[in-house]
A and B are shown apart, each in its own frame.
Chain A
């Protein structure tokens, strides 16, 4: 017994030694791999590989168009839905996915990290008729090279339960103004992502003009602190921070929260479930008076995609008039494809989606109205360079994500 005891004293020492040795080995292996190679776009699309692995926002890859694509091309879709842009970037870096429906706060990360390849738009016939104001944008084109195919755009939605919140709010103040928000203490649902700080900035841009906020993603010290302080005040009233769309649907239908920021996907799912949900209507383009943060999404292809041909087929398919009209109406966002706005196409797509016909869909969602979108601030990566004469004084994403943990307390 005593001999055993004496020996067992060596065990902890052995573990610590082993750990230290392993750490040294790992540290030694930490040589940087060369990610600077941007790669070149594919030259042609050959036979499909029979499969394609997609990372997408909830509601972007679903039936009926998912089955149509699989039947037409023989490419089976393996789908992973993600709730935040950071999650998407993370997934793409595992190297197991061929493509992603990236928002602007993911596209720049993926391109600068060398995770995605340029897209040869000649191989995507439907690219031609995509709305011009979606092409060559800073979130999908880098150094003049297109890195993806626009999917559609929309704005984050202010949703509330009409039984508890009357009249239907037309301003983010219902969630952000401390006096108003305290009426719904513990019943407010907030998107759990550092990028939500931009929502506070959009609100402050309208309500505190002396801060001089021009772009909610380019915030200098004062502006950033004001936004963070506002959200810290909001924290006392928040019932949940959500990043899983299905969980948020649950919270609203259980009555745990009554007002919050959401996507059209959850809104329509709740309405379909006969829940008394309300949101700003088509007359304001579904937006509160301050405008809103939003997205303009891009299908990107992984640099070392295992199924590049199927991915090209998907990128062309998802912006084909019928499929893009189907996904746009199903999700509730403006389509990227101009031909999707054809009344007959919209009606046929609504029928396929099992939705009521809405031939005015593209007008309501301002699909062909570039001026409308100036109040929609597409997600993008905050960087130190403010992009104006303030120079390198803005808060970068590391600051944003650190602040976000602090806000949640």
Chain B
């Protein structure tokens, strides 16, 4: 009785089982089948759209109809090179992205250090929630809030009025402040994780061997935490580099790479595509350096 029951069961499952048998002992097929979906997605959608953009950078635009002429020309890159404004905008954007990264690193390190090494476990839990809290709210809401605060009749000017100082108003400074605010959690979390990994015994050992706190910080903590800082900087740098919403809301008179791409994609898509390769190149270089510095172990 029992034996026949098993047979009936195995017959019932036989289609699925035969399919499963296909994979038995064939690790390559297993991995291949698992990866087909994600890989197809990556190649077709992600690399595909990237490839369209890179190809479009060699097209041109008909002056009357604004239609794309799908030929092959280096004119767009030549124009980017010959026209000062694109260099100015690129350097301005890279400058702001660097400033935001440095600002966030300086702000994040003490907070992360306190969270990782000093705070009680209750305080730590509270701080983690506090750091993550801004990520719960919608990006645009936060930028609009800053727009309202920075505007001529806004909170910042109102608060500074009694001491006779004007707020930063809109422009590059506003972008620096808002982006620093937006991406700070992305810097705090990797540094916090990096500092957590440093065993307290190393700090004690350094102290026992006669190092003053400053020296312990410089020779023990900083070298061990540095890859984590670089890991965090990938986020702050790349997110600032590619953002166009914040600049368009708090810097309506100063252009950044994203704004130039956004406004020129309607009247000159090929030029916009060519310009969009600039942040790609910048990020490739940045990531190569970050890898050198060991940041990828801390992501």
* A interface list, Cβ under 8 A from B: 15, 18-19, 22-23, 26-27, 30, 32, 35, 84, 86-87, 89-90, 108-109, 112-113, 186, 192, 194, 235, 238-243, 247, 251, 254-256, 381, 383-384, 396-399, 401-402, 405-406, 408-409
In the bound complex, do residue A18 and residue B70 qualify as a contact, i.e. CB atoms below 8 Å apart?
no
In the bound complex, do residue A398 and residue B63 qualify as a contact, i.e. CB atoms below 8 Å apart?
yes
Interface centre among B61, B62, B260, B267 (most CB of A within 10 A): B267
Is B277 positioned at the interface, with any CB of A under 8 Å from its CB? no
In the bound complex, do residue A241 and residue B253 qualify as a contact, i.e. CB atoms below 8 Å apart?
yes
Closest to A27 in B: B55
Identify A405's interface contact among B50, B154, B254, B264, CB under 8 A: B264
In the bound complex, do residue B253 and residue A238 qualify as a contact, i.e. CB atoms below 8 Å apart?
yes
Is B51 positioned at the interface, with any CB of A under 8 Å from its CB? yes
In the bound complex, do residue B65 and residue A109 qualify as a contact, i.e. CB atoms below 8 Å apart?
yes
Identify B264's interface contact among A35, A186, A239, A401, CB under 8 A: A401
Q: Nearest Cβ in chain B — how far from A271, in angstroms?
A: 19
Closest to A192 in B: B263
Return chain A residues, CB-CB under 8 Å to B14. none
Return chain B residues, CB-CB under 8 Å to A238. 253
Identify B51's interface contact among A26, A30, A243, A402, CB under 8 A: A26
Return chain B residues, CB-CB under 8 Å to A186. 169, 253
Q: What's the Cα separation between A340 and B43 when bound, in Å?
A: 57
Interface centre among B47, B66, B263, B271 (most CB of A within 10 A): B66
Chain B interface category by residue count? 35 or more
Q: What's the Cα separation between A192 and B84 when bound, in Å?
A: 20
Identify A406's interface contact among B51, B83, B153, CB under 8 A: B83
Is B273 positioned at the interface, with any CB of A under 8 Å from its CB? no
Closest to B152 in A: A255
In the bound complex, do residue A87 and residue B55 qualify as a contact, i.e. CB atoms below 8 Å apart?
no
Sample 9 A-B pairs with CB under 8 A, ordered by A number.
A35-B67, A108-B65, A239-B253, A240-B253, A254-B148, A383-B64, A398-B268, A405-B260, A406-B84
In the bound complex, do residue B252 and residue A241 qualify as a contact, i.e. CB atoms below 8 Å apart?
yes
Identify A402's interface contact among B67, B84, B268, CB under 8 A: B268
In the bound complex, do residue B54 and residue A401 qualify as a contact, i.e. CB atoms below 8 Å apart?
no
Q: Nearest Cβ in chain B — how far from A350, in angstroms?
A: 33
Return chain B residues, CB-CB under 8 Å to A401. 264, 267-268
Known A256-B152, A402-B83: A409·B255 in contact at CB below 8 Å? yes
Q: What's the Cα separation between A111 and B43 when bound, in Å?
A: 37
In the bound complex, do residue A113 and residue B253 qualify as a contact, i.e. CB atoms below 8 Å apart?
no
In the bound complex, do residue B88 and residue A409 qualify as a contact, i.e. CB atoms below 8 Å apart?
yes
Identify B55's interface contact among A26, A241, A247, CB under 8 A: A26
Interface centre among A84, A86, A238, A243 (most CB of B within 10 A): A86
Q: What's the Cα separation between A242 and B253 when bound, in Å?
A: 9
Return chain A residues, CB-CB under 8 Å to B264. 401, 405
Q: What's the Cα separation between A240 and B54 when bound, in Å?
A: 31
Is B266 positioned at the interface, with any CB of A under 8 Å from its CB? yes
Interface centre among B54, B84, B89, B152 (most CB of A within 10 A): B152
Q: What's the Cα separation between A242 and B260 when bound, in Å?
A: 14
In the bound complex, do residue B252 and residue A22 qualify as a contact, i.e. CB atoms below 8 Å apart?
no
Return chain B residues, CB-CB under 8 Å to A398. 61, 63, 268
In the bound complex, do residue B66 and residue A254 qualify as a contact, i.e. CB atoms below 8 Å apart?
no
Q: What's the Cα separation between A27 and B264 when bound, in Å?
A: 22
Identify B266's interface contact among A87, A108, A405, CB under 8 A: A87
Closest to B254 in A: A409
In the bound complex, do residue A254 and residue B252 qualify as a contact, i.e. CB atoms below 8 Å apart?
no
Return chain B residues, CB-CB under 8 Å to A194. 267
Closest to B58 in A: A27
